[in-house]
A and B are shown apart, each in its own frame.
Chain A
Amino acid sequence: MTANAPGAVVLMQGNEAIVRGAAEAGIHFAASYPGSPSSQILGMLGKIARERNFYAEWSTNEVCAIQACMGASFAGARALCVVKQNGLLCTADALHCGAQQGVKGGLVVVTSDDPSAHSSTNEFDSRWQAQSASVALLEPTTMQEAKDMIPYAFELSERVGQIVIVRLTTRVCHGRGCVTLGELPEENRPLERVREWDRMVCVSYMHGPMLEKLEALRGAFNESPYNHYSGPEGARDLIVAGGTGRLYAQEAVKRLGVQDRVGLLSLGALWPLPEDYILKYLRGAERVLILEEVDPFLEQGLEALAGREKLSLTFLGRDHGALPKIGELDPDNVEKAISILTGAPLPEKRLPDGAGKTPLPVRELTFCAGCPHRATFYLLKKALRQEKNPGIVVGDIGCYFMAGQSAGQYGYQACNCMGSGVSMAEGLGQLTHYGLDQKVVTICGDSTFFHTIMPGIVNAVYQSANMLLIVLDNSATAMTGFQPHPGTGLTAMGDHARPMDIQKILEAIGCEVEVADPFETVQAEKTLRRMLARPGMNVLIMRQPCATLKTKERKGKKPRVWVDQSRCIGEGCGCDKHCSRVWGCPGNTWDFSTGKAQIDPVTCVGCGVCAKLCPAGAIQVEGETEA
């Protein structure tokens, strides 16, 4: 990552390419809150920060991250902010105000969108934020472009004094490709002292200058090396691609044999729209297919442009059929769209006779083997079932989002965005004063607690809501890959910091707080029931480290867990396969030939909780469990 070997070709993941690009740009400052698919970027930046003499932090949330970057920019620093699609929306106020105040040192925001929501609760299109905030946006297609666009974005940002957004999508972040390395700067540019009359303020009279900066970049984008065209001159069938669709299209036109009559216009510097450049190709076209991820952003922009120029074109894309309105592009849907554009027939793909008949079971995501969340939701469901009515559980964002499925006993009924659970529960909890006779429960992880839950707790305590918040304290930001947060005592650059004590914070705010270990199932259930019965704002901290984290840090052998076949009653037991069917840990499997339970030694991490739940006492644990 920090080899100064210009010209070397390396297989790089898109996220790695961004890191390399940042090093080549000579950044002074980087801040982020993790979010897939770009979670890894800041972790890698933290590791090279000292060597490359810049500062990197995992901020408590995305608003802290972008505003810290603005502060750094005011002293002339090149600052990189990394967020995912939802994180960019969190920054919306800061971003819009920031665009009006402008920047001094370059400020680049890398945002990652997740078309098809592979690791998200939804799919968003960040490009609308660039349009709304009047800032420029670049979108790389290859890993090479991902690297090269970072220094380019900093140059643009400093040329006009404005934030620049680089938009990634999952296939870039988590794809790998060949990257030719560039040069690393000898040393970073010196910082600039902020003078008495320097200003970086968002005020209304900056609206005009903000728009002028955008127009200046439109001019630059008409000449940008990231916008290019391939294909015959004056092609009547034109494909306009922003992002990954370009590569799918390049291959599909060859497979369909239409490469000699279809033009491919690729846009990497795409907002503000390089109108003059685009019009050169629109003027000769009759049919235009737009390939882009998530929303018809370019499609609507180009249609408006064509309308203004009184061009009569047929558009194909997400808005006009030819491509699905939702989900990511792939080689198949792009090939089909090009077949519609050109009339070239699709090659026939057939399975051999007899194949493809048996339905294949899907693999529903679940908590990892030994995950403490499984125990918490098991106990919560059990406790709420024994109330006179089932209660209301509001979810939140983290691994425990999966608790809405069988992984967590279908454990919650509502979930909005990250940090929302406590306030949705507060709303419901207020109604208990007005006749709603249900227990109101919400959950959050430890990282989410610091990210956005704390103001909601202050609100719930101050407004006297009747509710229970369960903090799933697994000492990790587990969903995104174990990034440090203020409770962990570590920083992005590997330094130690004084960890914040969630319990003390809660007590200071004025909550009733108790702590339980979800693996001590009997004790934890008692505590849970006691707290459910209490009025006011109660918080139960379920404390047990993430199983994956424990496995990573494990030194000795894991405890061996097995099923004593002589004691397992199997299908004849009244437990209804409690271990594998109800408890549902992937380590608990079933031997369909003997009709008895077994443990998968590969998957099992040895937590031993299932041994406590087996009514026949058939599950044995050898070696020490930490529970």
Chain B
Amino acid sequence: MIQLKYDPLNIVVCGIGGQGNVLAAEVVGSAMIDRGCRVAVGETYGASQRGGSVMSHVRVSLQDDPSVLIPSGEAHIIIGFEPLETLRIARKYAGADTVAVYDPRPVYPLGVLQGVQTYPDLDALQEEIRSLTTLALAVPAADIAMEAGDSRAANIALLGAFSQVPGAPLSREDLEKILARRFKGAVLELNQKAFAMGCGAAGKGGAQ
């Protein structure tokens, strides 16, 4: 039987619409159900494909059905597809013991490109993520996915890295099983490759 460090265990998956946020959350949720847990997932949507900030909340319990939203300050794991979004989420949801796995590649908001807003200094931004978390692992998931063959697999690459975090609630095998069930053919191959590369990247000491 799986042991949960916290009950409910709270995971936030965050990024920008179109980065595969909902799918990543669904994969994590399904893997936790396979391990015999009760799972609730809350998605933001509507902004999907349209450049807005998006997040999904995955909540895991061995007792009750949790609500679909995490209270502020109660996230235990943050999976972030973009550094600014990771910080935005860490400020609201990080608590006493929070691990972040994130892609440090910035995607500029429209307002920044139009010169009406400023993107924070990337070093300072990452420093703040570290200050808010007990462990922050920066993994270039989009680059890995492009190397694997398609940038759209960045979400799966980051899940690979997530499985390697110390104390991760899911193993590499748990997630690989879901991928094999969820995808077929060329897409499965791409995702398996990106996933394996993500696992490898986490091992290379991306931890800071």
Contacts and interface: CB of A to CB of B under 8 A. Distances in A.
Interface of A: 9-11, 36-37, 118-119, 142, 144, 171, 174-178, 244, 247-248, 250-252, 255, 330-332, 335, 349, 351-352, 354-356, 358, 360-368, 399, 402, 406-407, 548, 577, 580-581, 584, 586, 588-590, 600-603
B142 to A, nearest CB: 6
Band of interface residues on B: 35 or more
A584 B44 contact: no
Contacts of B39: 11, 176-178
A418 B63 CA distance: 44
Contacts of A361: 84, 109, 111-112, 117-120
A475 B128 CA distance: 45
B49 A368 contact: yes
A364 B113 CA distance: 12
Contacts of A548: 49
A84 B109 CA distance: 30
Contacts of A354: 128, 131
A70 B58 CA distance: 40
A171 B67 CA distance: 9
Contacts of A363: 16, 47, 51-53, 109-111
Contacts of B131: 352, 354-355
B42 A171 contact: yes
A360 B46 contact: no
Interface in B88-142: 88, 91, 95, 107-115, 117-120, 124-125, 128, 131-132, 142
A177 B113 contact: no
Interface stretch (B68-76, B169-177, B184-192, B199-207): B68-76
B42 A174 contact: yes
Contacts of B88: 360
Given A355-B91, A580-B114, A119 B45 contact: yes
Given A178-B39, A358-B128, A251 B66 contact: yes
A505 to B, nearest CB: 29
Contact of B50 (A36, A118, A174, A367): A367
A255 B7 CA distance: 12
Contact of B109 (A11, A175, A352, A362): A362
Given A366-B110, A586-B110, A600-B107, A332 B132 contact: no
Nearest to B96: A349
Contacts of A360: 84, 87-88, 91, 120
B99 to A, nearest CB: 16
Given A177-B39, A244-B67, A332-B72, A119 B53 contact: no
Contacts of B72: 331-332, 349
Interface of B: 16, 18, 25-26, 29-30, 33, 38-47, 49-53, 64-73, 84, 87-88, 91, 95, 107-115, 117-120, 124-125, 128, 131-132, 142, 146, 151, 154
Nearest to B54: A363
Contacts of A177: 39-41, 65, 68
Interface-central residue, B71, B84, B87, B125, by most chain A CB under 10 Å:
B71
B38 A174 contact: no
Nearest to B90: A355
A8 B68 CA distance: 21
A255 B74 CA distance: 11
A248 B67 contact: yes
A158 B134 CA distance: 57
Given A248-B69, A332-B72, A577 B115 contact: yes
Contact of A364 (B38, B41, B95, B109): B109
Contacts of A176: 25-26, 29, 39-43, 68
Given A176-B39, A354-B131, A356-B91, A142 B65 contact: yes
Given A178-B33, A364-B52, A364-B109, 8 more contacts: A119-B46, A349-B72, A355-B128, A355-B132, A361-B109, A361-B120, A363-B51, A581-B114
Contacts of B43: 174-176
B41 A11 contact: yes
A118 B45 contact: yes
Nearest to A353: B131
B52 to A, nearest CB: 5
A365 B111 CA distance: 10
B68 A171 contact: yes
A175 B65 CA distance: 12
B84 to A, nearest CB: 6
Contact of A584 (B25, B38, B114): B114
B113 A171 contact: no
B41 A36 contact: no
Contacts of A174: 42-45
A8 B67 CA distance: 21
Nearest to A119: B46
A251 B120 contact: no
A37 B30 CA distance: 22
A602 B51 CA distance: 13
B108 A590 contact: yes
Contacts of B18: 368, 603
B33 to A, nearest CB: 5
Contacts of B53: 362-363
A602 B151 contact: yes
Nearest to B33: A11
B101 to A, nearest CB: 19
Nearest to A251: B67
B41 A250 contact: no
